[in-house]
Amino acid sequence: MKIVVQRVSRAEVRVEGKTVAKIGKGLVLLAAVERGDSERELAKAADKCLNLRIFEDENGRLNLSALDLNLEILAISNFTVAGDTRKGRRPGFDKA
């Protein structure tokens, strides 16, 4: 499993010009589940994303999580995150 985590002030997903999902301040997760990933690994990854301390506290330190601040999360399934680029210039998606 691979997840790209991005802090956002707002985000939206549009399909054919129509907004299908949007959030205010929070996290966007681009997630790729790979062959062999278990429900336990998924739960651990979800907990890690929710509790990553990547938001500033009152002193400007990265000390708060999305969960601490009750922020929104937009999770997007994206198999390309699991692309294997170790061989050549064309990514392989055998495990995605």
Q: Are 12 and 21 in contact (CB under 8 A)?
A: yes
What pTM, to 2 d.p., does this model score? Answer: 0.83
Summarize pLDDT for 4-27 with one digit per residue, the tens.
999 999 999 999 999 999 999 999
Check whether 93 has a pLDDT greater than 90.
no
Q: Structural domains in the chain?
A: 2-82 (3.50.80.10)
The candidate with the shortest Cα–Cα distance to 25, out of 49, 13, 8, 12, is: 8
Q: Which has more pLDDT, 70 or 1?
A: 70
Q: Are 1 and 31 in contact (CB under 8 A)?
A: yes
